[in-house]
Structure 1
C-alpha cells in the first residue's frame, strides 16, 4: 500500500473516531438533560406534596384554635350564668329581707299608738269627763295618722273634690246642696289611702248632681 493511500485511510479513521466521540458526547449530554429534567420533576413533586401538607397543617391549627376559642367562650358563659344566678338569688333574699324588715319597722312605729289606746280604754272605764276622753282619743288618732304619713301612707282627699275614678268609688249620687257642689263629692263614707302615691284603698264617696 502506498503512503498516500495509507494517509487517506488514517485520516478517514480519525474522522470516524472523532464522529463517534461527538456522538457519544451528544448522547451523554442528552442523558444528563433527561436526568436533570427527571430530578426537577421529582423536586417539583416533593415541593407540591410539602405545600399540600402545609395547608393541611394550617387547617388543623386553625381548627384547634377554633376549638380552644369555643371552649374559652363556653367557660366564660358558664361563669357568667353562675354569677347571674347567684346575683338573682342574693337579690331575691335581700328583697325578702327588705319587705320583712320594712314590715317590722312599720309595726314597731304603730306600737306606741296601741299603748295609747290601751291606756285610753282603761281610762274610759272610770272616766266621768266625756270631753276629756274624746280629746284623748282624737290625739291618739292624730298621732296614728302622723305615723302612717311617716311610712308613706296618705289619706285621699274627698269632700269638695271632683270625682276621680282613679281615687274615688262613687257609691251614691244625691241632689247637690248648692250649684257649686254639682259633680263634686259631698260626703265620704269610707276613707281611702295611698302608699307612696299608689292607691291601696279607694275612698267610698257620695257625689252631688
Structure 2
C-alpha cells in the first residue's frame, strides 16, 4: 500500500476521535447545566426563608392588632355601661331630691290652706258679697288650681273604709248608721303628691 493511503486512514481515524471527544464534552456540559438548574442557589434559599419569616411576622402582628381591638372594644363597652349607670343613678337621685323638696314645700303650704278653709267656712251669706271676702276666695281658688296642676290631691275620707295608709284615726264613735270601720268625719284634710301621701287625713271612725 502507498504512503498516501496510510495518511488518509490516519486522517479519518483522527477525525472520528475528534468527533467522539467533542460529543463527550457536549454531553458533560449538558449534564453540568442540568445539575446547576436543579439545585437552587444559596441566595434563592435565603430569599425563600426570609419571605416565610416575613409572612409569619405579619400574621403574628395581625393577631396582636386584633387582640388589642377586642380589648379596646371591651373597655369601651364597660365604660359606656358605667356611664349609663351613673346617668340613671344621677337622674334618680335628682328626682328623689326634687320629690323631697316638693314635699317639704307642700307640707309648709298645707297649714295655710287649712286656715283659708276654716276662714271661708265661717263666712255668712251676707259677708260673701264683701270685696275682701271675695279676694280671699279668689286666692283660695288659685291655690286649689295650683294643687291640681301639680298633682296634689286631697284624700277622700268621709264615707270611705278606714285605710291606715291614708287615714289617721284620732277619734272613734259607736253610735250612728255607718258601717264599722267607716270614716264618719274628716277633722283635717290629708293630701297626696303624685300618688304618695304628704299628710294623712285626721279622721273619726265608726267602731
Distance between the aligned counterparts of 1:207 and 1:101, measured in 2? 33
Q: Which runs of 5+ in 2 are unaligned?
A: none
Q: Mark the CA change 1:101 to 1:145 in structure 2 (over 3 Å): closer, same or farther.
A: same
Quote the RMSD (CA, aligned, Å).
5.4
More helix by share: 1
Unaligned runs of 5+ in 1: 121-129
SS of alignment partner, residue 32 of structure 1? helix
Match among 181, 202, 206 for residue 204 of structure 1: 202
SS in 1 for 2:39: helix
Partners of 1:188 and 1:206 within 8 A in 2: yes
Q: 1:207 to 1:172 in 2, by over 3 A?
A: same
Structure 1 partner of 2:146: 150
TM-score (norm 2): 0.56
> Structure 1 residue 199: deviation in Å?
0.5
Secondary structure at the residue paired with 2:32?
A: helix
User: How many residue pairs are counted as aligned between the two chains?
Assistant: 189
Which residue of 1 is the match for residue 52 of structure 2?
A: 52
TM-score w.r.t. the length of structure 1 is 0.55
Cα-to-partner distance string for 1:30-74 (whole Å, 9 max, x where unaligned): 1112222234x5465245234324414534763686598689869
Residue 194 of structure 1 is matched in structure 2 by: 192
> Structure 2: how far apart are the matches of 1:177 and 1:192?
24
Pair 7,176 (structure 1): closer, same or farther in 2 beyond 3 Å: farther
Contact 1:184 1:207 in 2 (8 A): yes
* 2:23 partner SS: helix
Counterpart Cα distance in 2 of 1:156 and 1:98: 22
SS in structure 2 opposite 1:51? helix
Distance 1:199-1:141 versus aligned 2 partners, 3 A rule: farther
Q: What secondary structure sits across from 1:24 in the alignment?
A: helix
> Which aligned pairs between 1:69-108 and structure 2 lie closer than 5 A?
none
| 1:169-188 map, 5 Å | 169-170=168-169, 173-178=172-177, 180-188=178-186
CA pair 97-68 structure 1, distance change in 2 beyond 3 A: same
C-alpha distance in 2 between matches for 1:22 and 1:31? 14
